[in-house]
Amino acid sequence: MNSSYDLVIAYRIYPRVSKIPIIFSDDKYKLSELCLRSFKKSLGSLKIKMIALLDNCPDSYEELFKKYFTHEELDIIKLRGIGNLETFDLQVKLLSEQNYSESVYFAEDDYFYLPDQFHILLDFLKNNEDVDFISPYDHMDYYTNKLHNHSGSVKIFGGKHWREASSTCMTFLTTKTNLLKTSDVFESYARGNKDNSLWLSLTKYHIFNPVKTLLWSCVRRTWFHSWAQNFFGKRYKLWIPVPAVGTHMESGVVSPNVDWQYHINECLKEAAELH
């Protein structure tokens, strides 16, 4: 493998607003630029390859990526409205087959990142043998949903606490090696599986509890889509930084313990000063 890159990213983007973000709820282009700019700043000096999946996007979105990433960094793939499930499936395929880097990142277009912090995720992945997957996002569900009421390992690294989680969303960091071993589970997402269910199958939280299997649809779904992984697959470890490195922008579920509005304002201020 050509290891000249620290990281390869498959970044999927769609020109409509999903749910209700905390800013630019009526302007997906402005939201997209804010998030992409924050991502670029978070990457810092990392040498990256960016594969941008533009799903039914106007030409302005291609120019947006060219604004923040060089010709050498950037590959553009234009898609004709194939949708959420198929773009994720394409991410799995592209990141499994690429030879740019062993470290791979699944990115969505509505996440905001803290400046110069992405390297902490990468360092944590590379320096801990029991780290298989990392989300940048400390989801509010970890504090409110009984699905996440479970024990797990805790580490301190890079100025953050890290905790094991049972599930996350579809923005995450892993290795190509792990992705190849788990691609069947991730590909089940395009066949109707849900994000929490596929993660439960990988992390193996709750799935052998008969009461939870009976009462929780997310657990039952793991047995329908990923019974082989449940029975025979490795138990993978998913880790979350506290406080977060990035947050989903959906109102009501932003990561706690970070003043996101301050960082958003700083990002917008810097962008305005460049114009």
DSSP 125-151: HHT-TT--EE-SB--THHHH-GGG-S-
Distances (CA, A) of 142 to 150, 166, 220: 10, 9, 20
Report the pLDDT averaged over residues 14-19.
93
pLDDT (0 to 100) of residue 213:
87
pLDDT (0 to 100) of residue 215:
84
Q: Is residue 2 assigned to a domain?
A: no
Extract the tokens encoding 215. Answer: 């009462």
Residue 2 has pLDDT above 60, yes or no: no
- Residue pLDDT, tens place only, 116-171: 999 999 999 999 999 999 999 999 999 999 889 898 999 999 999 999 999 999 99
Reported pTM:
0.96
Q: Is residue 1 assigned to a domain?
A: no
Extract the tokens encoding 107. Answer: 């990115």
Q: In which band, very low, low, confident or very high, does the pLDDT at 257 lie, cut at 50, 70 and 90?
A: very high
Q: Is residue 212 assigned to a domain?
A: yes
Dist CA 251 CA 232 (whole Å): 39
Q: How many domains does the chain have?
A: 1
- CATH number for the domain including 102? 3.90.550
pLDDT (0 to 100) of residue 4:
86
Residue 52 has pLDDT above 80, yes or no: yes
pLDDT (0 to 100) of residue 73:
98
Per cent of the chain over pLDDT 90 is 92
Dist CA 127 CA 122 (whole Å): 9
Sheet containing 154-157: order of strands: 74-79, 48-55, 7-13, 103-108, 172-175, 133-134, 238-242, 160-165, 154-157
- Residue pLDDT, tens place only, 183-229: 999 999 999 999 999 999 999 999 999 889 888 999 999 999 999 99
State the average pLDDT for the chain: 96
Q: Which domain holds residue 92?
A: 7-274
- Residue pLDDT, tens place only, 74-98: 999 999 999 999 999 999 999 999 9
CA 242 distance to own-chain centroid: 16
